[in-house]
Amino acid sequence: MSEFGNPGKQYERTRHNMGYDVIDMFSNNLNLNFSSKSTGEYIKCKIEKKDVILLKPTTFMNLSGKALLEFINFFKIDKNKIIVIYDDKDLDVGTIRIRKNGSNGGHNGIKSIEQVTNQFIRIRIGIGKPKFKDDMINHVIAKVSNTEYDELKKGIIKGYNSVIDILKYGVDIAMNKNNININKINNKKEKRKNKMDKKIKVLVAKPGLDGHDRGAKVVARALRDAGFEVVYTGLRRTPEQIAEAALQEDVNVIAMSILSGAHPHLFPKVVDLVRAEGMNDVLIIGGGVIPETDIPALKKAGISEVFTPGTPTSELVDYIKAHVKA
């Protein structure tokens, strides 16, 4: 795995060194130090039970291919098993894209790598565009403020997690999990902006193999009576179906009901899928026959609140009104 950046203290905490920062995160988390060769610093390690070489070329970015070639030859690396992480001005700050292949987009580091191989996985970390078009050089190599770096770090963390996902699940699943459709998100934001005076929309869902939905229908009716727009999924829905329905219906709230005892697995799975689609402002709540001892773990997994049997529907209505983000 190779990461782009420019060597030297003067380039630390710059937008051009996103790849370096991902590698440094692995180094810190694994508590491993770098070894050196003539064209790069590297760490040999295991990640998700796979042998991995983490490479930081010490050439300048436009010569990254030279460093990669040295390591390919020395360690007998399969050219089809290379991941390259780099900054991308065409992506918003805090976002990433994983691609199996693609164009170099004018990126000098990628142009250099392509002289060695075209068969590599690309993880692009968004750094955004400068305010003024002719300020690009300063934008990518100037040191950023602490506030700016905090925003950039969101993309660095996503890049780190995406590497783990690729190694654990494969690139296809990693792409589905990590690639966010920006146009879809922007369209939803615009819709929300124009729907300030419209009803709160709630998806009532029954995940798993439950065969009873009387309680879910009671909740749906109470929410409609309170003035909410309600969509009911029906029985026996998978987490994937629930997440897709939430995306297609552009809901404000997902309210899940479960009786089977599978909530420790199914509720967090829905949260992960919904957030992976970029629906970070959707309120996700749960209810049903759920032991009090399970509730803290569900909240930690992203369930905002859990409503157990006997909770007045008015309490559910009030909670949604208080916590939905317009």
Residues designated catalytic: 16
Residue with tokens 């030297």: 8
> How long is the chain?
326
Return the DSSP state at 144: P
Dig out the tokens for 284 from the structure: 């996700």
Give, to the nearest 10 degrees, the angle between helix 263-276 and helix 171-178. Answer: 80
Q: E strand or H helix at 40, and its extent?
A: strand 40-47
DSSP conformation letters of 248-299: HHT-SEEEEEE-SS-HHHHHHHHHHHHHHTT-TT-EEEEEES--GGGHHHHH
Distance in angstroms between the alpha carbons of the first and the last residue of the chain: 41
Q: E strand or H helix at 69, and its extent?
A: helix 64-75
